[in-house]
Amino acid sequence: MSLQGKHIVLGITGSIAAYKSAILTRLLVKKGAEVQIVITSAGKEFITPVTLSALSGRPVISEFFASGDGTWHSHVDLGLWADLMIVAPATAATIGKMANGIADNMLVTTYLSMKAPVFLAPAMDLDMYRHISTQRNIKKLKGDGVHIIDAAEGELASHLEGKGRMEEPENIVAMLEQFFATGHDLEKKKIMITAGPTYERIDPVRFIGNFSSGKMGFALAEECASRGAEVILITGPTALSASHPNIVRVNVESAAEMYDAALQNFPQMDAAILSAAVADYRPEQKSEEKIKRSGKEKFTLSLISNPDIAASLGKIKEPGQLTIGFALETNDEERNAMKKMEEKNFDYIVLNSLNDPGAGFGHDTNKVTILSRDGEKQSFALKSKDDVAKDIVDNVLCAIKDSF
């Protein structure tokens, strides 16, 4: 039992979904976990500390001070005691406080003192959930390393239908078990990931590029690092940030710079995931000054090939090294992806199509199919890129981790 003996802090906030926290507490205890509940004042309006204490077997903490004799609850001690903290349900107000460090209650101060991983399960009405401020705060918490258990679709307390329901307790427990079971399954592995676009300069102010945001590569880097891998993230120009301390970021601009960085780092790696959208061509001549229009009706640009990073790594790959490529296609998707895998000597290739709504450049979601050299195929539904990264790591890296 992966939760046996684990110390879990369960934060409960003022939501009608607080009744699910009683079920969650019971399930966690049944799995062998020790559960310490921290509840906000608003949370106590929806479920009583007496009920929660009976289920957890421990006094429920709500206020900073236990009584009038000077004793108090130490959020610092809770942060050291816990193996994991989960806030379920998490209201928009608490999400906002956590994202911005507003430590005006015991739950948020406990979060700010937490040394262990933190999970958060939002619960609120659909308009509040999709509001730009709520989504901004959730995105900020993700960037801070908080694991978000996405809200589910269904009937809400307002009797409206939509996204905002707290995930079911049974599913949350399964996610926590999976987290502890796979938390360090890539420990001691060294993985190189390429991400983002490359820019090929025409002159000091213009370049040839593409619409890649780098989101898929960064999600893969965070997922691998969270599982214990040492990650070298070679990224083209992007505004994204990498938060995990196991990630070493190498910034490049052009395909040639990415090529040099990849070839320099790859020999020390166990695996490489090549998710960058690398320009195939660059201008043959680069002007050192801004090119003026000067009344010209036509401007001809001569292009030459960039070095092929994937093919070059495929040629120097040693036994025991694993390479995974990406193929973004618009037609004959599987045939083109399989051809690319063969040409580049990939072990696996992740196919996504611009014909699938929500997939490809710029989106927060992706829809992929993982193809292997031996002809196996795994297709997945449209998911967030964070979840796609988990699928790739689960079904490729972790599934065959002993072979590389």
What's the pLDDT at 187? Answer: 82
Segments of the chain with pLDDT less than 70: 1, 65-73, 183
Under a CB-based contact definition with an 8 Å cutoff, are residues 43 and 91 in contact? no
Q: In terms of domains, do 248 and 326 share one?
A: yes
Q: What is the CATH number of the domain that holds 211?
A: 3.40.50.10300
Q: In terms of domains, do 155 and 172 share one?
A: yes
Q: In whole angstroms, what is the distance from residue 321 CA to residue 323 CA?
A: 7
What's the pLDDT at 66? Answer: 67
Q: In terms of domains, do 194 and 162 share one?
A: no
Under a CB-based contact definition with an 8 Å cutoff, are residues 67 and 78 in contact? no
Q: In terms of domains, do 173 and 233 share one?
A: no
pTM: 0.67
Q: In terms of domains, do 150 and 207 share one?
A: no
Residue with tokens 């390479």: 323
What's the pLDDT at 144? Answer: 83
Domain-terminating residue out of 149, 164, 182: 182
Instruction: Check if 210 is active-site.
Output: yes
What's the pLDDT at 255? Answer: 97
Q: In terms of domains, do 11 and 128 share one?
A: yes
Single out the catalytic residue among 210, 265, 336, 345: 210
Domain that holds residue 129: 7-182
What's the pLDDT at 370? Answer: 96
> Residue 234 domain-assigned?
yes
Residue with tokens 């009937």: 155
Number of folded domains in the chain? 2
Q: In terms of domains, do 135 and 235 share one?
A: no
What's the pLDDT at 156? Answer: 77
> Residue 292 domain-assigned?
no
> Residue 391 domain-assigned?
yes
Q: What is the CATH number of the domain that holds 70?
A: 3.40.50.1950
Q: In terms of domains, do 110 and 58 share one?
A: yes
Q: In terms of domains, do 98 and 57 share one?
A: yes
Domain-terminating residue out of 182, 201, 224: 182
> Residue 356 domain-assigned?
yes
Question: How many Å separate Cα 310 from the centre of its chain?
Answer: 24
Strands 322-329, 271-274: pairing is parallel
What's the pLDDT at 284? Answer: 95
What's the pLDDT at 70? Answer: 56
> Residue 1 domain-assigned?
no
Q: In terms of domains, do 301 and 231 share one?
A: yes
Domain-terminating residue out of 162, 182, 202: 182
Which two three-digit tokens encode residue 191? Answer: 């993985």
> Residue 288 domain-assigned?
no
> Residue 16 domain-assigned?
yes
Q: Is 330 exposed, middle or buried (0-12, 13-18, 19+ CB in 10 A)?
A: exposed
Q: In terms of domains, do 12 and 50 share one?
A: yes
> Residue 340 domain-assigned?
yes
Q: In terms of domains, do 175 and 206 share one?
A: no
What's the pLDDT at 398? Answer: 81
